[in-house]
Amino acid sequence: MNRPHYILLPVSPLFIACSLAGAFLLNLLPWGRFIGAPDFVALVLVFWGVHQPRKVGIGTAFFLGLLMDVHDATLFGENALAYTLLSYFAIMMHRRVQWFPIFMQAIHVLPLLLLAQAVQLTVRFIVSGKFPGWFYFIESGVAALLWPVVTLILLAPQRRAVDKDHTRPI
């Protein structure tokens, strides 16, 4: 199967900010306490770390992590540390991930999401001494399954038409 290769338009910083704000608002919804509810902020941070590493970096991840710490009422810096590491590793492997088809990208993103959850779990275990069980990591699997959907949604404004229209400048 020969898939079309798209040349992407530059991404708008306003669109990036809106997507991060939307992910934060999705995390604010009350389903966050259910087992398997994905961390949308982590997923969108990985996406922008892979696709736009110069525009969304570790500082953005740290700031969003602090916001999530305040929202979750967790130990201050827990999510910030996890998101910072998540962003660092996403930026570190961004060139390699983009060469793969979208479902293989999801397989590459899964260990990053598991790492972020493991960092959060380690901090919580050190502070409280409680282990929530192995079902805690289902969240990363659900987020990895959502990777193709998130990729299609967030890349949609940047895609050019496959059939070139010669009356348009781009």
Q: What pLDDT is attached to residue 164?
A: 63
Q: What pLDDT is attached to residue 130?
A: 85
Give 91-112 pLDDT, tens digit per residue: 999 888 888 888 999 999 999 9
User: Domain limits of the chain?
Assistant: 13-158
Token readout for 145 is: 């399954």
Q: Which among 50, 44, 64, 54 is positioned nearest to 154, based on CA atoms?
A: 44
Strand (E) or helix (H) holding 51: helix 40-51
Give 5-34 pLDDT, tens digit per residue: 567 778 888 999 999 999 999 999 887 667
Q: What pLDDT is attached to residue 50?
A: 92
Q: Which CATH number fits domain 13-158: 1.20.140, 1.10.1760, 2.60.40, 1.10.3470?
A: 1.10.1760
d(C-alpha 125, C-alpha 132), whole Å? 9
Beta bridge partners of 159: 8
Is residue 107 within 8 A of residue 144, CB to CB? The reply is yes
Q: Which conformational region is residue 27 in: left (phi greater than 0), alpha (psi within -120 to 50 degrees), or beta?
A: alpha
Q: Which among 89, 39, 80, 76 is positioned nearest to 60, based on CA atoms?
A: 80
